[in-house]
Amino acid sequence: MKPHSFCTCWPGATVWLTGPPGAGKTTIARALAERLRERGRRVEVLDGDATRALLTAGSSWEDRGTGLQRVGLMAEVLARNGIVVLVPVTAARADSREAVRRRHERSGTAHLEVRVVRDAVPPSGLPAPPGPDLRIAAHEQSAEESARALHRLLAERELA
């Protein structure tokens, strides 16, 4: 883990964990956050369930695309300022995921998409993201093992 050469700050990144409900996205995000904090990184977890009520400001969550855009904007701003942002959300809409990715690209901010799957979870009909940066089979390994795999990917990309 190296700070940028022009300052003493670390690069931020958004890690968008997608997958069906109950696949373990939040558990993995929390385990990774703990690992990163132990190594001195600033980390935020923007859990889909927790942010939903906050970001809809009392209105319905019918337009999930708008809600995902709001979470994506918040994640991008935090990541652009040196924080590793872990976003465990179902994020079924490919157009919303792509819009969040493009927002990060425009600002030069790292964005990783991770697909978390669990065989024990019945199929939900959610489309898999095109070419995720990492696929985690949560039914084959523990949350800690999954967090280690994701941490390795961040380290390979010099983001951890």
* Interatomic CA distance for residues 151 and 153, integer angstroms: 5
CA angle, 141 as apex, 112 and 68 as ends, to 5°?
30
- What proportion of the chain, given as a percentage, has pLDDT over 90? 51
Domain at 13-156, CATH homologous superfamily: P-loop containing nucleotide triphosphate hydrolases (3.40.50.300)
What pLDDT band is residue 102 in, cutting at 50, 70 and 90? very high
Average pLDDT over residues 148-156: 94
Q: Which one has a higher pLDDT value, 26 or 8?
A: 26
| pTM for the structure as a whole | 0.83
Range name among 84-88, 124-128, 134-138 with the lowest pLDDT average: 124-128
Give residue limits of the domains in the chain: 13-156
- Please determine, for residue 133, whether its predicted confidence score (pLDDT) is greater than 60: yes
Sign of CA dihedral 136, 118, 73, 97: positive
pLDDT of residue 130: 59
Q: Which amino acid is at 135?
A: R
Q: How far apart are CA 19 and CA 118, in angstroms?
A: 9
C-alpha dist (Å) from residue 68 to 3, 7, 37, 46: 30, 31, 25, 11
